[in-house]
Amino acid sequence: GAGVSQTPSNKVTEKGKYVELRCDPISGHTALYWYRQSLGQGPEFLIYFQGTGAADDSGLPNDRFFAVRPEGSVSTLKIQRTERGDSAVYLCASSLLGGQEAFFGQGTRLTVV
Amino acid sequence: GESVGLHLPTLSVQEGDNSIINCAYSNSASDYFIWYKQESGKGPQFIIDIRSNMDKRQGQRVTVLLNKTVKHLSLQIAATQPGDSAVYFCAENTGTASKLTFGTGTRLQVTL
């Protein structure tokens, strides 16, 4: 596609449920990033993929969060046992190579009720 | 849609005036800096970047200045337009992990 695509755009889930957020990066981009943005804050880094492997997952807050990119393209961010504090906009970005200009998707707004 | 930056510092400028948005960064080892623009309900949009071996870079209507001595970055927008109204974030690339660390953001309001 022309840009980074994230689905769904909005997700409301009940506390304790499992959710998956999907990111389709720009075709050919080897680097993919997940960020989380709370209201009134800048995006916070979660995880970075170079190809299929997670090169840096130091931003994942705890073991309820997990992300995969099995074929080096689409990525899925998975959150288990969601908590109200997980409510935020989850942003995905991709770049041709790591360390270069990153292009962001429009985000998925997750609301845990 | 969601409003980004409800409690952010706000800069109000009149249409046609120049805007200067400032950012202090924390890591003296950062070697790549980016300014992003974020409109409500959208993801951050790249504006301009600069590497640490430069102190100034110009784009179309925008200029980024980098002062490594005091760890300060600024974004200058010439002839500000209503479409420039958004939240602006500076971001620094920290180390070799390629992740970006974002600042807190500044809301720019352009008045007619």
pLDDT in tens, A62-77: 999 999 999 999 999 9
Find, in chain B, the residue whose alpha carbon is nearest to that of A97: B98
CB of A17 closer than 8 Å to CB of A78: no
Q: Of residues B2 and B109, which shows the higher confidence score?
A: B109
What is the four-CA torsion angle of A104, A38, B24, A92, rounded to 10 degrees? -20
Segment A39-55 shows an average pLDDT of 92
Average pLDDT value for residue range B13-40: 93
With an 8 Å Cβ cutoff, are A56 and B89 in contact?
no
Task: State both tokens at B69.
Answer: 């001595």
Q: Least CB-CB distance to B97: which of A41, A56, A95?
A: A56
pLDDT of residue B26: 83
- Provide the pLDDT for residue B1: 34
Q: Is it the case that residue A17 has pLDDT exceeding 80? A: yes
- Tell whether B29 lies on the interface with A, counting CB pairs under 8 A: no
Please answer yes or no on whether B43 and A33 come within 8 Å at the CB atom: no
What is the distance between the alpha carbons of residues A55 and A67, in angstroms, rounded to a whole number?
12
For residue B21, what pLDDT is reported? 97
Q: Which of A39, A40, A48 sits opposite B97 (nearest CB)?
A: A48
Tell me what the mean pLDDT of segment A89-111 comes to: 90
pLDDT-derived band at B75 (thresholds 50, 70, 90) equals very high
For residue A99, the model assigns a pLDDT of 65
pLDDT of amino acid A59: 94
Please answer yes or no on whether B43 and A45 come within 8 Å at the CB atom.
no
What pLDDT is stored for residue B70 in this prediction? 93
- Give the span between the Cα atoms of B36 and B26, in whole angstroms: 18
Question: What does the pLDDT read at residue B5?
Answer: 44
Whether residue B3 is predicted with pLDDT greater than 50 in this model: the reply is no
Q: What is the mean pLDDT of residues B53-71?
A: 95
Chain B residue with Cα closest to A43: B102
Q: Please determine, for residue B6, whether its predicted confidence score (pLDDT) is greater than 80.
A: no
Residues in Cβ contact with B86 at an 8 Å cutoff, skipping those fewer than 6 apart: B37, B38, B39, B40, B107, B108
